[in-house]
């Protein structure tokens, strides 16, 4: 049986990939720019001076976190999605004279995949490199997909759903040799693992502030000096013409503070997250029969635990966990309204029913070992209850178990 | 001589078109959504519930301010520039099967004009209707520019530089008859004068929250039900697919509050602004020889005073006013870094040298009659000092005065 919900217990939020609270130091740094130093950084008079300086300062801090050579290589945007649009569409369209072929992986974030569809409509050919079962982009597969007319490859740093960290250095090396632009969607990875755009030979990289406990509504695109990109929207020419519109100074200042904090605290936080993550994964795999880890056990984001549970449905599990005071996602937050199984899990060769049973835990700063133990404690009861209900009756489960166990033995290593 | 700057005197900010301080009630309403109710509105668990409700609530408030029929007609964006991109480019590209001709005015905001250039590159023909000397779009000129293949006309509600308010109702009437989409850039007008999208038969309208004392980094696009628009960026499909990316909840909540406040307080504020504006205009025109008002004396935004001063240079004036503790703009805030004369003034048939002498005062909530009197007091001294300096020597001025007076007599009515 499930433990009854305890009304006095604070809610446990394990969905940091969907949204993060703003760090109190970040918010404090933003406050003076709302109503006091509110000027437009483009203004020539003195009210523009402090916002302009603050903008510069934030740009330096974000550049440092990713080891950009110059702060001018950082373009502030309104979020990771917009960064992806400028970085992928802007570069591909700008380069279309050199070739109209683009490469990506089948497990990119929905925004990247939808941008690829738009490029296809605009006459580009797109190759989708399939991942391994653990969600790795295979280097040889990637190399095979490259053509003389390939102008850009976009591979995410780490997967937002299953947390798998890609061999970004090796991919960067390969693409540089072939003289192909390398765009990296680093929204899920930024602030969690160290990123070095120079070492990884990245030309374009998208990040979002909120994933670093910065504010919503601000992101950045790293554009290596000399990389040719065209604007996808037009306006007053701010951010080197790549992202027009008066700069959102308070949010950008907050992003700078969040980047500065990440520089100092990331290593310690990641160590703590990794321990909690492993406690959660081990606890659930040990406590729930027919549960499996999605993604790689070793090369995964420190805060990500994505598991699937045979014979149950992820959405019901999410709602049951919610009733127990636990917030998690059933799939990518951006598509969580849809009942479709995750395209990431399907691409990793997981069957539809099992993909639909996935629950994604993303840990964050407020989570404790006690939280993890509580989740580990309530999971078996919830799963048991759900398995006792339709659409999988007890007999069905027995039957499916015998077939599935046979059919899926090749997947067992996912949860080794 | 100019009054010496008084160090104890608070600075006078008269550049509210460039940036506005966030209203304290707006900021207070945003605060809970940064670190407390920070969830993703798309989340199915309970942490998504309050942000989702807040989003809905803000949408209702913004819809009400502009008398939209349904709240779903409001699409939240990251600023007015992005709204213009979606509203103009998105609609024109979506309609290109019906025709590839678009109409606009020559005095639109730089973001609209740059979007038009992008449309021209994409194979559209664009007609730029010239304004009258006071900055009005002439209805007959507009009608003459319409063609059977015209799919969209974009005319701003009020000009951001010279404040002229367009005959929006009449334009809406005309365009509806011709079955042509009507996009309105209402960034400068919103919150200052009443706007009714139904009465004015507007199909698409761009606004920005900061101009209503809302936060930076959030705008809206009104999209009348049934209006065909395609997305200009791709992503997770938020905001009815027209503006992807996780919603910036705190900023959107702030926009809602700002809209709610504007509903109640706009009429009173506008009355106060109009009195201050007229006091400023009359004071300067009366105190400074060879000064002229740009735009219309009657149909102008309540907070806008844009004047030109023969034989001086706007930028020097701006810097001198700044030294006296007064913040103003020399031209459109978005292009204020450039020394080019305002395209708006040139389109209104004002000569280059005179256009370069324009100073734009935009008043706001913190301005008082005392502020205005101080500005009126210091202006003559500054102008006198500047006229005594290069590039216009005293003899040159006498000479130019006699020629210019002759050549420009047709302009005198601008400053009647």
For residue range B8-21, list pLDDT tens digits in order: 567 999 999 999 99
Beta strands in B40-158 (DSSP E): 74-77, 101-105, 125-129, 150-154
**Pick from A79, A210, A322: which is nearest to B45 by CB?**
A322
Whether A94 contacts chain B with CB within 8 A: no
Under an 8 A CB cutoff, do A21 and B40 touch?
Answer: no
Omega before B391 cis (within 30°)?
Answer: yes
Q: Which pLDDT belongs to residue A198?
A: 98
Torsion sign, CA atoms A381, A384, A386, A388: negative
**pLDDT of chain B, 416 residues: tens digit per residue:** 444 445 456 799 999 999 999 999 999 999 999 999 999 999 989 999 999 999 999 999 999 999 999 999 999 999 999 999 999 999 999 999 999 999 999 999 999 999 999 999 999 999 999 999 999 999 999 999 999 999 999 999 999 999 999 999 999 999 999 999 999 999 999 999 999 999 999 999 999 999 999 999 999 999 999 999 999 999 999 999 999 999 999 999 999 999 999 999 999 999 999 999 999 999 999 999 999 999 999 999 999 999 999 999 888 899 999 999 999 998 644 444 556 789 999 999 999 989 999 999 999 999 999 999 999 999 999 999 999 885 655 666 666 666 554 444 333 333 32
DSSP sequence for B102-131: EEEETTS-HHHHHHHHHHHHTT-EEEEEPB
Task: Give the one of B19, B21, B38 whose C-beta lies nearest to A20's C-beta.
Answer: B38
Whether a cis peptide bond, with omega within 30° of 0, leads into A391 is yes
Chain B residues with CB inside 8 Å of A315's CB? Answer: 44
* Alpha-carbon distance values, B196 to B85, B142, B159, B337 (Å): 22, 21, 18, 34
Please give the pLDDT value at position B211: 97
Put simply, whether B247 touches A (Cβ < 8 Å) is: yes
Do A34 and B18 make contact, defined as CB atoms within 8 angstroms?
A: no
Distance from CA of B249 to the nearest CA of A (A): 8
Q: Is B281 on the interface with A (CB under 8 A)?
A: no
Residue B273 Cα, gap to closest chain A Cα (Å) = 20
Domains with residue ranges and CATH for chain A? 12-20+266-415 (3.90.1150.10), 24-263 (3.40.640.10)
* Angstrom distance (rounded) from CA A93 to CA A205: 17
Judge whether B197 and B186 are in contact, CB under 8 Å: no
pTM, two decimals, is: 0.92
DSSP state of A42: T
Residue B340: what pLDDT? Answer: 78
What is each CA distance from A319 to A74, A359, B323, in whole angstroms?
A: 40, 11, 62
User: Is A329 within 8 Å of B24 when comparing Cβ atoms?
Assistant: no
Residue B69, Cβ neighbours under 10 Å: how many?
11
CA atoms within 13 A on the CB side of A329: 31
- Note whether B46 and A327 are within 8 A (CB): yes
Nearest Cα of chain B lies from the Cα of A218 at a distance, in angstroms, of 8
β-bridge partners, A137: A131
CA distance B318 to B141: 35
Residues B136, B167 contacting (CB under 8 angstroms)? yes
ipTM computed for the complex: 0.92
pLDDT above 90 as % of chain B: 85
CA distance B185 to B152: 13
Q: How many residues does this entry show for chain A?
A: 416
Active-site amino acid positions of B: 334
What are the residues facing B113 on neighbouring strands?
Answer: none
Question: Nearest Cβ partner of A47 from B13, B251, B330?
Answer: B13
First to last CA, chain B: 27
CA distance A323 to A318: 9
The answer to whether A88 and A112 are in contact (CB under 8 A) is yes
pLDDT value of position B353: 87
Chain A residues with beta carbon closer than 8 angstroms to that of B19: 38-40, 43, 47, 51, 246
Put simply, the answer to whether B15 touches A232 (Cβ < 8 Å) is: no
Enumerate residue ranges in chain A where pLDDT < 70. 1-9, 331-339, 390-416
Tell me the shortest Cα–Cα distance from A186 to chain B, in angstroms: 15
| Contact by Cβ (8 Å): B277, B305 | yes
Chain B positions in Cβ-Cβ contact with residue A79 (cut-off 8 Å):
78, 245-246, 248
The token pair at A8 is 């006095």
Please spell the DSSP secondary structure of A201-234, one letter per residue.
T-SEEEEESGGGT--SS-EEEEE-TT-----SS-
CA-nearest of B144, B89, B148, B77 to B116 is: B89
Chain A residue numbers touching B123 (CB-CB < 8 A): none
In the stretch 16-75 of chain B, residues with CB closer than 8 A to chain A read 18-24, 27, 34-36, 38-40, 42-48, 51
Q: Which residues pair with A101 in a beta bridge?
A: A125, A150
User: What integer pLDDT is reported at residue A407 of this predicted model?
Assistant: 43
Cα B141 to chain centroid, rounded: 23
Q: With CB atoms and an 8 Å threshold, state whether B235 touches A21.
A: no
Show Cβ contacts of residue B206 under 8 Å, excluding neighbours closer than 6 positions.
B80, B83, B84, B87, B183, B184, B185, B186, B187, B219, B220, B221, B222
Looking at residue A394, its pLDDT comes to 60
Contact B358, B330 (CB under 8 A): yes
């Amino acid at each position: 049986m499930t433990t009854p919900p305890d009304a006095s217990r604070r809610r446990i939020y394990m969905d940091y990939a969907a949204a993060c609270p703003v760090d109190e130091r970040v918010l404090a740094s933003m406050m003076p720019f709302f109503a006091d130093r509110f000027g437009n950084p483009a203004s020539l008079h003195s009210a523009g001076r402090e916002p302009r300086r603050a903008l510069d300062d934030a740009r330096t801090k974000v550049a440092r976190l990713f080891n950009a050579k110059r702060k001018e290589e950082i373009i502030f945007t309104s979020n990771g999605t917009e960064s992806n649009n400028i970085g992928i569409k802007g570069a591909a369209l700008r380069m279309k004279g050199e070739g109209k072929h683009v490469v990506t992986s089948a497990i990119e974030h929905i925004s990247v995949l939808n941008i690829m569809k738009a490029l296809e409509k605009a006459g580009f050919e797109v190759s989708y490199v399939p991942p391994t079962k653990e969600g790795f982009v295979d280097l040889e597969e990637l190399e095979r997909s490259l053509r003389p007319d390939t102008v850009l490859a976009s591979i995410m740093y780490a997967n937002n759903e299953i947390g798998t960290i890609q061999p970004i250095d090796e991919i960067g090396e390969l693409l540089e040799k072939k003289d192909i632009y390398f765009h990296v969607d680093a929204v899920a990875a930024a602030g969690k693992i160290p990123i070095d755009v120079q070492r990884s030979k990245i030309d374009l990289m998208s990040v979002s502030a909120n994933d670093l406990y910065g504010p919503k509504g601000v992101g950045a695109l790293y554009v290596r000096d000399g990389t040719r990109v065209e604007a996808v929207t037009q306006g007053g020419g701010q951010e080197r013409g790549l992202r027009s519109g008066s700069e959102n100074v308070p949010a950008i200042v907050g992003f700078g503070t969040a980047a500065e904090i990440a520089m100092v605290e990331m290593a310690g936080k990641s160590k703590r997250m990794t321990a909690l993550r492993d406690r959660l994964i081990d606890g659930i795999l040990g406590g729930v029969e027919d549960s499996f880890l999605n993604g790689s056990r070793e090369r995964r984001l420190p805060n990500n635990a994505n598991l699937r549970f045979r014979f149950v449905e992820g959405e019901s599990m999410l709602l049951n966990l919610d009733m127990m005071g636990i917030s998690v996602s059933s799939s990518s937050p951006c598509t969580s309204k849809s009942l479709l199984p995750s395209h990431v899990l399907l691409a990793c060769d997981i069957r539809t029913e099992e993909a639909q049973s996935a629950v994604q835990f993303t840990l964050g700063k407020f989570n404790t070992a006690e939280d993890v133990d509580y989740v580990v404690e309530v999971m078996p009861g919830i799963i048991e209850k759900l398995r006792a209900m339709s659409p999988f009756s007890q007999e069905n489960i027995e039957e499916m178990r015998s077939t599935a166990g046979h059919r899926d033995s090749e997947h067992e290593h996912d949860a080794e």
